[in-house]
Amino acid sequence: MIFELVFNAALVIFFIYCFFYVGITTPDNTAGQLDGAQWSQGLLAILVILLIVNIIKIIKNKDNVKTKVVSLNIKDFITNKLFIGIVLLLVYSLALSRTGFLLTSFILVFFYSYLLGEKRVIRMILTSALSVIVLYLLFNRALDIMLPRGTGIFRTFALFIESL
């Protein structure tokens, strides 16, 4: 429940900020028109009201839900599968342009397979390498979709794979 409240409260704060931001950053209204800022502000105002209603509902329902003591254990949190999965995905998307599709995807598939319960290392390596290379060549050759090659040595490696 606490996470749900935090999530809703964060959205309320963000939307209130957006409400004022759009008002400041767009030019004044022309008479006889609904301008872009007013439309956005209308949506944001309803959103904030409904989110507050939702927060009140969550708090009211608190009595019906078994109270659970929330203790934030840092170790449990960072070793949580979901947390590791999210970090993997975000790091992957940030590294993709530099290290290229081939290497970054190989690492992602390898570690994500492990996260999903695969423990046989040889199988993980084979699956990762095969799936990444097959998809790379399929999209590169058959559909003319050039996936990121990366820079430097990663680019050279990608060019080598393409030449196969």
Partner 1 sequence: MLGIEVVFTPATFLLIFFGTIIGVIFGALPGVSSSMAVVLAMTFTYALDPVTSIVFLVAVYCAAITGGGITAILFKIPGTPSSAPTTFDGFPMVQQGYANKALSISLITSALGGIAAAIAMFLLSPQLSKAALKFGSSELFAISFMGLSILTALDEGNVIKTIISALMGLFLATVGMDPIMGHARFTWGNSTLLSGIQMIPVMIGMFAVTQVLKETVKRSSVEDLPGAQRSGVIDKMVSIAELWKMKLTIIRSGIIGTIVGILPGAGATIASFLSYAIEVKTSKNPETYGKGNPRGVAASETANNAATGGAMVPLLSLGIPGGNAAAIMMSALVMKGVQMGPLLLQRQPIYLSSVFVSMMVTNVLMVVVSLVVARAFSKILAIPYSVLGPVIVLFSVIGSFAVNNNTGSVLVMMIAGVFGYAYSKFGFNNAALILGLVLGGMVESNLRRAIMLERGDILAVFSKPITATIMAISIFALLWPIIKPLVFKKKANAVN
Q: Rule CB under 8 A: which residues touch partner 1? A: 3-4, 7-8, 15, 18, 21-22, 25-27, 31-37, 39-40, 43-44, 46-47, 50-51, 53-54, 57, 81-82, 85-86, 89-90, 92-94, 96-97, 101, 105, 108-109, 112-118, 127-128, 131-132, 135, 139, 143-148
CB of 92 vs partner 1, minimal distance in Å? 7
CB of 156 vs partner 1, minimal distance in Å? 19
Count other Cβ atoms within 10 Å, centred on residue 105: 22
CB of 34 vs partner 1, minimal distance in Å? 5
* DSSP category for residue 72: -
Distance spanning both ends of the chain, measured CA to CA? 54
Nearer to partner 1, 139 or 157 (CB): 139
Nearer to partner 1, 74 or 116 (CB): 116
Closest CA relative to residue 22, chosen from 36, 9, 12 = 36
CB of 87 vs partner 1, minimal distance in Å? 10
Q: Which residues contact 26 (CB under 8 A, 6 or more apart)?
A: 35, 36, 37
Give the whole-angstrom CA distance, residue 40 versus residue 55. 22
